[in-house]
Amino acid sequence: MEEPLESHVLILPFPAQGHIKPMLCLAKLLATSGLRVTFLNTHNNHRRVLPHNPCSPPSPLLRFESISDGLPDDHPRSLERIEELVLSIKMAMKAHLREFLLRECVQLPVTCVIADGIMSIGIDVAEELSVPAISFRTYSACCLWTYFCIPTFIHEGKLPFPDDDLDKEFHGLRGAEGLLRRRDLPSLCRSQIDSNLFRYFIDETIAMTQACALILNTFDALEAPMLSHLATIFSDVYSIGPLHALAIQSKGGHSSGRSESVSSLWIEDRSCMAWLDSQASRSVIYVSFGSLVKITVDQCMEFWHGLVNCGRPFLWVLREDAILGEKEDNVKLLLLELKVTSETQCLVDWAPQEEVLAHPAVGGFLTHSGWNSTLESIAAGIPMICWPRIADQQINSWCVSEVWKIGLDMKDTCDRSTIETLVRILTEDKKEEIMKSMARISALGSDSVGPEGSSSKNLERLIENIRKIGRTS
């Protein structure tokens, strides 16, 4: 009788920071539990992440490897050229993944692949090699359920939208009847349905159903209705978020003072922490639009004036590559002009966001509504003003403002008057009402990652099932 294989999990994220971060957090949790884990980045991102991580992995059972994404080193891999990236993933990177797994199986066989929900190449190659695959979608349950409903919306003639009225109510998304407007749907719903990018994301969503289970970075009490819909598609659904908070709990509830899932493709400027130390309690508005979103010079100035006019100190993460449509020298000049730290203003290229949100000086978060940022804000109990741009961000901001009542939504608007008004509403007019909702939701999130919480129990169940896979391989 053959000996059962040692459990060895391969984790394959989509090559973008918002995907790498939660998947690396999961990798560390699995390795801490005693599972052997290989985290497989692209060469490009491996080079960018490695200098920001400790010299050695957090666990001897976790190692970092990389393969080519098929693009040349000088390719920008930017949002504007994402179609080139996803095409290369489907073609060139899939072949590199197959080669890697075949080599890996000679040394220490992989018993389970956890593939990003928009990296179906991981499911495909795992199936070829008779290795079980689990899909990890780094979006919210609400967004994923919406993606699964899009083919039905097209069949029913609801997509593409028959006119340009984005404020018109949208009916047909179970769990959200009478609440949604067209503009609240994921940005994919505004795309041409015959475009390559639209087809890619719909195909990737459908391909997820070939996996043996689904992992989501969310918690039961936050998205119960949407999780119940997804349970009709997947036989096993593991809601194990907020993952960064679960990582802290795994260390006995004590944070090291640094991000629990160091995975930044950007170098953090920690000078902002000293600046926050000098500010009054709950006085600061933290502003960040994530790692991919870009803004025009006009939008930049509207945000600047709106923030200045509201009269509150603000900390703004403004990446060097975040300004659209300007010559490099002009951008450098603008940033040099803006990035002058004063008593009331601090601008940095990148910040340690989890620590910033946990700082007692921070009282509000002006955000792009990326899912990681939304969960980090909930965990820290910081109310949000949402300015979504792409992908899941539109429906996340809708959940924040209309479902959970923990913030305000300013999607598709960018003027200094609105920004000033919403900051005042968040911090003054509706402060008590919004903070009451946030305290409730934040407490539910904290409970979920506690020793007897739903996310902790779901993680235990996931780990045990991965071990079972190893024993039966």
Rounded to 5°, the CA angle 85-88-93 comes to: 120
Q: How far is CA 146 from CA 202, 207, 209, 228, 315, in A?
A: 11, 15, 15, 13, 34
| Catalytic site includes residue 19 | yes
Among residues 19, 96, 244, 368, the one annotated as catalytic is 19
| Catalytic site includes residue 116 | yes
Q: Which residue has the tokens 């003003």?
A: 385
Among residues 8, 96, 116, 220, the one annotated as catalytic is 116
What one-character-per-residue DSSP string does 188-225 give?
A: GGGS-TTSHHHHHHHHHHHHGGGSSEEEESS-HHHHHH
Spatial strand order of the sheet with 112-116 comes to 62-67, 36-42, 8-12, 112-116, 133-137, 213-216, 237-239
Distance between CA atoms of residues 436 and 434, nearest Å: 5
Distance between CA atoms of residues 411 and 453, nearest Å: 34
Q: Are 311 and 343 in contact (CB under 8 A)?
A: no
Q: Are 113 and 123 in contact (CB under 8 A)?
A: yes
Radius of gyration of the chain (CA): 22
The secondary element (H helix, E strand) that includes residue 365 is strand 362-367
Q: Which two tokens stand for residue 95?
A: 């072949």
> Which residues carry out catalysis?
19, 116
